[in-house]
Structure 1
Amino acid sequence: MTYEGDFRVGDVLSVACPFTPATVERGVAWGHVSVRWPWRRIDADSDFFRWNGVVALGVDGDGDAPSEVGMELFRTDPPPGRLKAGDACRVGVPPTVVHVTAVEHHAPPLETGWLPRPELAVTVLPRGLSYREFPDGSHLNGEGYALYPGDGIPFAFELLMRPYPFLRPGDEVADAAGRAWLFGGPWDWSAFDGEGPGAGPEWPLVLLTRSGEPCSAADAEAAAEGTATGSHQETVRRWMSLTEASPTP
């Protein structure tokens, strides 16, 4: 499923950006290669930021090969270790699996030093990165790699998995075991009986309220159909197989 503008925490995506001609500003130094950015424009009216049109991309080691770990999504062709100031190269994102840890909407648009000013920020972690890289679990509060869909970079997104697409944060549901739950997100379930989440809600689920109001028949039917087969545990396992990460500490 290719889509634009509709992102949720927990989404598993494939993100890519076409490789585009660029010029090297500085070769590998201090773990970065600096590239004259082929997208975005300098925001001369910015009151707080003075961007010079250059972006520093993180590299591993001496940069002789594309990074296979870490959070940097962009790659250069040739690899960074073969580049020096003034060289021509291409920069882009090969298809990369990520999962969304935070979504922020900005009105007015965010002032960043470049144009267009972003109205949407989506924070992601590449496959294989999870709370294990952040012992305090801080990535769950938005730590990761920030993408700004709509800011001029021609990202292409494909939705690989959305856990619980038929629920919204704030929904109240009843499960097959007779427990009532508050849905805060795919991995944020609060049981009203206070006994803790345990293994999570037992499917099928009955949608009780949406944003504190009685839910519509269509919304209730979608929740029932979506949990008629399978289980919460199977959803977690599928998510983990796609992300090679753990959803919770």
Structure 2
Amino acid sequence: MGKESTPGGADALASARTGDVVLITCPSREAVVADISAQYVSVRWPWNQIDPESMMQWNGLRAIPLAPDARDWSDEPFQVTTPPSSLHRGGVCEVGIPDTVAYVVHVAQFSEPLDVGWFPRPNTYVSLVAHGVKIFPDMEEIGFTLDPDGEEPIESQLICRPYSFLEDGDEAADSEGRMWKYRAPWNWTPFDNGPGAFPVWPLHLACRNGEENPDARANVAHATRFGGHGSEIARWLECAGLAEVPRLPPAVFGEDFPG
């Protein structure tokens, strides 16, 4: 990735918003094997320390799938790179995240650090789903979560952000003169409650954070000279490895995902 790995060094994750497609990686580190089965290896987690005041009573272990045919393989970004034939209880293995592409489905921010059983207690959790994996509204568990400020030296790079030239809450007029409010990642609400689910490009930014913003207006006008909502979605689908748009919440929904 071209930079030194440091704790909390998750650049794209630190500023993530719903819909971002990111590349994540974490250098491997030695971990002690606590137990092993046909499909999983349980390791003593080499980064986090047990929180003695936690109500969760974490035992310091983490179970990691050994092969892609494991049920939750796509829900665990960390992998054991040591060959399974070399693993044995009490031995040492290498655990890390190989280059992995995933898309952000939720960013949760907590008013107080969350009690999860280990230190540091997270202030933010970014929930992601692996490239090419579909999600459905009735799914109880979705993807995996990462702490942008956690102890794991995760590196991340933004690959694609739908409507990267807009900020959540922007108000814009489309080429037909209709006013719309934008909610990340790709949600639009017309002011007139008329037909249509999205504005027609080019767009004219009318208001950002309650004020006019000439520089942002010029950027939006330039970005929407060609193409449209459909091309923006098609670009995202290709990066996310999906054939159809999943149901992702507008950022304003906050903690309500998946709804």
**TM-score of the superposition, structure 1-length normalised?**
0.84
Structure 2 SS opposite 1:222: helix
Specify the alignment match of 1:41 in structure 2.
Answer: 49
RMSD: 2.6
Question: How many angstroms does 1:153 deviate by?
Answer: 0.4
Specify the alignment match of 2:59 in structure 1.
Answer: 52
Describe how 1:139-154 pairs up with structure 2 within 5 A.
Answer: 143-154=142-153
Question: How many angstroms does 1:107 deviate by?
Answer: 3.1
- Aligned-residue identity in percent: 35
Q: Does 1:85 align with 2:89?
A: yes
Alpha-carbon distance between aligned partners in 2 of 1:62 and 1:238, rounded to the nearest angstrom: 29
Q: Deviations over 1:86-120 (max 9, x none)?
A: 22110011011101111122232211111111122
Alpha-carbon distance between aligned partners in 2 of 1:20 and 1:192, rounded to the nearest angstrom: 53
- From 100, 104, 111, the equivalent of 1:107 is 111
- CA separation of 1:182 and 1:11: change in aligned 2, threshold 3 A: same
Task: Extract unaligned runs of 5+ from structure 2.
Answer: 2-9, 248-259
Task: Extract unaligned runs of 5+ from structure 1.
Answer: none
- CA separation of 1:110 and 1:68: change in aligned 2, threshold 3 A: closer
Question: How many angstroms does 1:79 deviate by?
Answer: 4.3
Q: Does 1:121 align with 2:125?
A: yes
Q: Does 1:194 align with 2:193?
A: yes
Alpha-carbon distance between aligned partners in 1 of 2:145 and 2:181, rounded to the nearest angstrom: 28
Specify the alignment match of 2:221 in structure 1.
Answer: 224
Higher strand share: 1
Instruction: Please tell me whether the aligned partners of residues 32 and 90 of structure 2 are also in contact (alpha carbons under 8 angstroms).
Output: yes
Q: Deviations over 1:7-27 (max 9, x none)?
A: 111111000000111111110
Alpha-carbon distance between aligned partners in 2 of 1:111 and 1:152, rounded to the nearest angstrom: 15
Specify the alignment match of 1:10 in structure 2.
Answer: 19
**TM-score of the superposition, structure 2-length normalised?**
0.81
* Larger mean Cα displacement after TM superposition, 81-90 or 216-225: 81-90
Q: How many residues of Structure 1 are paired with residues of Structure 2 in the alignment? A: 237
Q: Deviations over 1:40-93 (max 9, x none)?
A: 1111122x1211111112344776xxx996222111122457533222110011
- CA separation of 1:56 and 1:3: change in aligned 2, threshold 3 A: same
Instruction: Please tell me whether the aligned partners of residues 124 and 147 of structure 2 are also in contact (alpha carbons under 8 angstroms).
Output: yes
